[in-house]
Amino acid sequence: IAISDEPLENFSEPRRKLSLGLSVRLIALLSIVVVGITCAFVFFFRHRDSSLGSVGNRLAAETALKDNRPNDAIRLYQQDLEQLKLTGGSPSQLFDVHEKLGAAYTRIGDLKHSTQAYQNAADDLYASFIAADKKGDQSAKRKILELTALTVKNDFPADIRSTAASKLLFELAWVKVRDGDFDLAESYFQRSLDLWKKRGVTELRERSRSMEGLAWTLIRKGRLNEAKELYLQSLATREEIQGPMSDACLRPVAFLYYINQRQKNRKESTQLRARFESLIEFNIQQSDRNCADVLLALAELVEDKKEAATLIDRSEKIYRADPSRFRENLLQLEGIKAKNAAN
């Protein structure tokens, strides 16, 4: 048996190294935990203090306005906004403060900053609407649009040139169309269109969208001549900036066909129907959703039951090709199909 001449204490050296390594790791882990807990507490108390400060500023600002001290109110609302941005304030909170800030600026006759504050309010809402739309959160979208409705109803200035305000009014109008409230839908489409007109020739596409929405609402209210004029204007714009075979021409051509059919203009309706079919054939591969949507919308209008059924079948064939992408469209289609069958 070979006996080592190495001292016995040397055999404990690996154990000491292992123990030391574990101790270092344990200390490092504990340090990370302590730092994490500290950061959490700091964040919590800052967030709490900022939130309390934000509410305090808002209440103080409202008191200042009541006491006819608008400049103090403006300063407090601005502090409130900074705190809300730090703590991730909700869209409704940001909107509320921006709107009140706009009212305070109006009180002192500073229309430039008042308009900017209202624009910021609309921008907050629209950014939130887009985020909710991407997530497919219909409830959140609805709440944002209801907030827009409140704004329009109260003191939202009609002359604001905010892109966000125009787009939100457009979306809100379509919600009212789906609710069957065509009077409010007409009002919102008109205001959206007015705002786009103020922006000049740079917003022709958006202007055309609002114009077509307004025209659709007028059709549902039986005002065909007014709707016809709007669709003719929209079509001329679409042809000029997007081309005569663009899928953007589908909607005005389809509903001009319908209007002329209702008005017994056979020559015009025949020509428009032929053009509509050419547009569908030309755009079906690249713009399947738009083609299907317009087919279904036309089916909802036409009086001939067989023609409506054919249009529904054509749109359904497109939607069924990709049911996961067109889930909401298929639900809408089933409703229109049932309605057509009942008539």
**Distances from the Cα of 253 to the Cα of 101, 120, 247, 276, 285, angstroms:** 45, 37, 10, 6, 19
User: What is the predicted pLDDT for the residue at 313?
Assistant: 94
Distance CA 16, CA 12 (A): 6
Residue 200 one-letter amino acid: G
Q: With contact defined as beta carbons under 8 Å apart, do 149 and 129 qualify?
A: no
User: What is the predicted pLDDT for the residue at 46?
Assistant: 43
Model's pTM, two decimal places?
0.68
User: What is the predicted pLDDT for the residue at 258?
Assistant: 97
Distance CA 69, CA 341 (A): 64
User: What is the predicted pLDDT for the residue at 88?
Assistant: 73
Q: With contact defined as beta carbons under 8 Å apart, do 61 and 73 qualify?
A: yes
Q: With contact defined as beta carbons under 8 Å apart, do 70 and 37 qualify?
A: no
List, run by run, the mean pLDDT of 10-residue segments along the chain (343 residues): 42 51 60 56 41 62 82 88 80 78 86 82 78 79 74 57 76 86 92 81 81 96 96 95 94 97 95 96 91 94 92 94 85 86 78
Neighbours of 273 (CB within 10 A): 17
User: What is the predicted pLDDT for the residue at 240?
Assistant: 92
